[in-house]
């Protein structure tokens, strides 16, 4: 807990500054305090992502997104009681306060439990043709194209293993033999890799029908042509707190209309906005699915991921959006491939 004082941030600090504090530390939380270190609120990665979804800009004061009623512990409470409280509230960190509400420390559930490997299965969709990357993919499947000094799929695998994931399923079709020859059973990376063979195109969700029965933990699914620094621990925590059946990672996409846009009241011009910026959230190709979602895949096995989410929503179940603020690139075209190669050493080196 030696670095807990580095989590302090003033209420007028920007969200961008707060992100830097959270990312730089190991406790994954920022404590908003006044001049005497009294706690005003807390900010976690989830608070930031929810703030982004609500439209808060990164230069806005962090006070606008902080949790003003966080769960806290007192100095006289035992570690056992604090651990029970964190489990009940499903939180990973808890500030320790004295009688004057001054922060005197932070307890972390990970440090208390010394958590081990994760049981969540990870499915990587690695069977695409990669036709937009012709001629690079004429004799090589896209997941084996080298970005930096290794194949795209190897970087994805290592990102997951860094967070303790051990069970992987690679969905393969085009040049499946080359993918299997390179990765084998995963022993070289200290993980288990099994292969889901698509004998025909099943869509972006259909390959999940090939998973073995009996999966009980939420399933992470990711397209095999993405490079990202998404924090998968934050993603799973977000999914658990959202209490939904499915979570989709989303990216903010902005489009500037190159004209003055009019607001009309019948024939009267009510307002003119010059070159407005339209803001959307778009599918980023990374998902968390509760095992119950697999029941929505038809017997034919053919289904795209947006359709799966629509079916989940149609049942009345909750589907959550997890905004990605970290590095992310979809290597779909040759210029994306060149850009990823140029950025690789800085981001993943």
What band does 201 get if pLDDT is binned at 50, 70 and 90? confident
Number of domains in the chain: 2
Give the pLDDT of residue 330: 94
* pLDDT tens, residue by residue, 275-334: 999 989 999 999 999 999 999 999 888 999 999 999 999 999 999 999 998 899 999 899
Pairing state between β 93-97 and 103-108: antiparallel
d(CA 108, CA 317): 31
> What digits encode the pLDDT tens for the residues 252-277?
988 999 999 999 999 999 999 999 99
> Which of 113, 147, 163 is a domain's end point?
113
The residue range of the domain holding 84 is 4-113
Contact predicate 155/348, CB 8 Å: yes
- State the distance between the two ends of the chain, measured CA to CA, in whole angstroms: 28
Q: Which of 91, 113, 135 is the last residue of a domain?
A: 113
Contact between 322 and 235 under an 8 Å Cβ cutoff? The reply is: yes
Give the confidence band of 183 by pLDDT, cuts at 50, 70, 90: very high
Whether 79 and 192 share a structural domain: no
Same domain for 81 and 219, yes or no, is: no
State the CATH number of the domain containing residue 332.
3.90.550.10
Q: What is the pLDDT of residue 112?
A: 67
Residues 132 and 267 in one domain: yes
Is residue 38 domain-shared with residue 128, that is, in the same domain? no
CA distances from residue 241 to 27, 234, 235, 245, 322 in whole angstroms, order as listed: 18, 10, 10, 11, 12
User: 130 with 168, same domain?
Assistant: yes
83: nearest Cα among 57, 125, 128, 115: 115
Residue 197 in contact with residue 172, Cβ under 8 Å? yes
Query: Are 205 and 295 within one domain?
Result: yes
Domain boundary among 92, 113, 134: 113
Specify the residue for token string 């499946």.
176
Q: How many helices and strands, by DSSP H and E, does the chain display? A: 10, 19
User: Tokens at residue 23, please?
Assistant: 């990312």
Q: Are residues 20 and 37 in the same domain?
A: yes
**How many C-beta atoms surround the C-beta of residue 272 within 10 A?**
10
- Say which CATH number the domain at 21 has: 3.10.580.10
**Together in a domain, 144 and 241:** yes
Residue 140 and residue 109 in one domain? no
Same domain? For 322 and 196 the reply is: yes
Q: Are residues 156 and 287 in the same domain?
A: yes
pTM of the model: 0.79
63 and 26 both lie in a single domain: yes
């Amino acid at each position: 807990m030696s670095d807990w004082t580095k989590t302090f941030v003033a209420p007028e600090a920007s969200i961008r500054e707060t992100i830097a504090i959270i990312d730089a530390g190991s406790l994954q939380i920022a404590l908003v305090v006044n001049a005497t270190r009294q706690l005003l609120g807390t900010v976690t990665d989830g608070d930031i992502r929810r703030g982004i979804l609500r439209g808060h800009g990164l230069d806005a004061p962090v006070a606008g997104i902080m949790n003003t009623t966080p769960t806290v512990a007192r100095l006289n409470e035992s570690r056992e009681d604090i651990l029970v409280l964190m489990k009940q509230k499903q939180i990973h960190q808890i500030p320790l306060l004295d009688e004057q509400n001054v922060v005197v420390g932070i307890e972390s559930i990970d440090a208390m439990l010394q958590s081990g490997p994760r049981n969540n299965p990870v499915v990587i969709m690695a069977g695409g043709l990669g036709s937009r990357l012709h001629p690079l993919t004429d004799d090589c499947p896209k997941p084996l194209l080298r970005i930096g000094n290794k194949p795209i799929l190897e970087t994805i695998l290592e990102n997951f293993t860094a967070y303790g994931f051990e069970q992987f399923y690679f969905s393969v079709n085009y040049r499946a033999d080359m993918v299997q020859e390179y990765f084998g059973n995963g022993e070289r990376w200290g993980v288990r890799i099994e292969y889901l063979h698509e004998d025909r195109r099943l869509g972006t969700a259909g390959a999940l029908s090939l998973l073995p029965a009996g999966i009980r933990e939420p399933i992470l699914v990711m397209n095999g042509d993405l490079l990202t620094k998404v924090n998968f621990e934050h993603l799973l925590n977000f999914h658990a707190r959202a209490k939904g059946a499915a979570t989709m990672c989303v990216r903010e996409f902005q489009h500037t209309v190159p004209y003055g846009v009019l607001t009309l009241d019948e024939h009267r011009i009510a307002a003119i906005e010059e070159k407005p910026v339209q803001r959307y959230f778009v599918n980023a190709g990374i998902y968390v699915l509760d095992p119950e979602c697999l029941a929505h895949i038809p017997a034919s096995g053919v289904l795209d991921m947006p359709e799966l989410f629509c079916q989940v929503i149609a049942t009345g179940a909750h589907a959550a959006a997890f905004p990605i603020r970290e590095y992310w690139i979809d290597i779909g075209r040759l210029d994306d491939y060149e850009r990823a190669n140029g950025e690789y050493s800085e981001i993943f080196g």
